Each structure stands twice: as C-alpha cells, then as structure tokens.
A and B are shown apart, each in its own frame.
Chain A
C-alpha cells in the first residue's frame, strides 16, 4: 500500500526560528494536506494542495506540492510557542482510493520561548 515518510520525527527550536518539515511517498498522490494535532484533540487542517508544483501560504505557513507528486514540504516562519504540536502530512491517491487519506508518522514540534 501507499506509504508516507515524514521527517524529521521531532524538532526542538527557539521561538522566532523558521521550521521546515517534509513528506515523501513511494507513489503519486493527487492531493497533499497538512494537519496540526494538539494533545487530546483531532487534527486541524492547515493547508490543502491540489496541483503539482502548487505553493500555498496560510499566514506564517507555506506548503508546496512537489512536481513529481511524490513529496510535499511545510515551512513555518517566525515560530511562536503556540506552534507546539504534532504536524502530519496526508496524501490522497485518487482513483479507487476515493476517500482514503494516507498519513505520515508526524513531526513533533517543540518551541522554547
């Protein structure tokens, strides 16, 4: 089945620093999504990407859909303490996998004030 490799597994940064994380896949995805999950809560959608090469921003967040359709990255600029949480990438393969999202393992972000 489709697999997503997300890296890094965890990051410890100082407030104000920029953050970058990425996901790679062994197969093509038609849609990439980035979610943030706080402890005890469900994932919250941050950015959705629908076209290869697409670069999309949402405030301090920027994400890109790789040209090969097998990767995506998420950047967070000027991190703040409330950015702490687990970030997940998710891909949708299209075709017969209509509704199924495949998730990466997550990147745990810790921001030191």
Chain B
C-alpha cells in the first residue's frame, strides 16, 4: 500500500511566479490536510479538505493561497505570486474516512521544499 505521495519534492520559483504542489493521499483515504513547516519549527496547519469540499481553511493565508481536492486526481495547493517568505516545506497528510478515531490519525507525505529566489 503506497503511502502519501507528493510532487515535486523540490520546487524553485522566482518572486511573482506561481507554485503548484500536488498530493495523492494513501489508497482508501478521503481526507487531505496541508501543513507548512518553516526551518527548525513544528508543522502549522493550513487547510483540511475532503473530495470537492474545503472543510477547514482557518490556517490558510487569505491571499495568494488556495487548495482543492477534486473528485478525480490529486489535491493541489496553489500559491500565486510567490514571495521569499513562502519558502518552506509543505506537507500533505491523509486519513481514512472513519471519522471517530482514524480521521485524527494523519499520515504524512515526504513534503515539497519550496524555495523562492
């Protein structure tokens, strides 16, 4: 059973460009979460999605950031007009559809390291 897949693993962008990060959850998982990690810090929650729905985006910056999890295909975290402060590791996690326990047990992908020049 493949784990959470993220691509690309590394992404370099110049200021003002767009960054598009992809996440494929574990097989059978229907919940996807995105987190951001700055150097030497813990992970910070950004957004929680189920198929075609954004459940909680309380951690997403109000501008330039958006996320989707379409019916078919991977979840996408999109950052428009990137700035140097967006440089970070972005992690995707997924959890099974059983909400009572397992939705709180999140399994993480290897991350995308974004560097903005």
Q: Which residues of B contact A98 (CB under 8 A)?
A: 48, 55-56, 103
Q: Which residues of A contact B25 (CB under 8 A)?
A: none
Q: Which residue of B lies closest to A42 (CB)?
A: B108
Interface residues on B, range: 20 to 34
Query: Are B41's CB and A43's CB within 8 A?
Result: no
Q: Is B109 an interface residue (CB 8 A)?
A: yes
Residue picked from B42, B95, B110, B113, most chain A C-beta under 10 Å? B42
Q: Which residue of B lies closest to A32 (CB)?
A: B104
Bound CA span A105–B38, Å: 11
Q: How many whole Å from B18's CB to the nearest CB in chain A? A: 23
A-B contact count (CB 8 A): 74
Q: Is A104 an interface residue (CB 8 A)?
A: yes
- Supply 11 further A-B pairs (C-beta < 8 A) apart from A4-B42, A103-B43, A105-B41: A6-B42, A31-B105, A33-B104, A40-B113, A45-B105, A88-B43, A90-B43, A92-B104, A98-B48, A100-B56, A103-B42
- Identify the 8 closest CB pairs spanning chains A and B, nearest first: A99-B48, A103-B42, A42-B108, A92-B104, A31-B104, A100-B45, A103-B43, A42-B110
Instruction: Show 22 residue pairs from A and B whose CB-CB distance is below 8 angstroms, ordered by the A residue.
Output: A4-B42, A6-B42, A31-B104, A33-B104, A33-B105, A42-B6, A42-B91, A42-B108, A42-B110, A48-B104, A50-B101, A50-B104, A88-B43, A99-B31, A99-B48, A99-B56, A99-B103, A101-B35, A101-B45, A103-B43, A104-B42, A106-B42
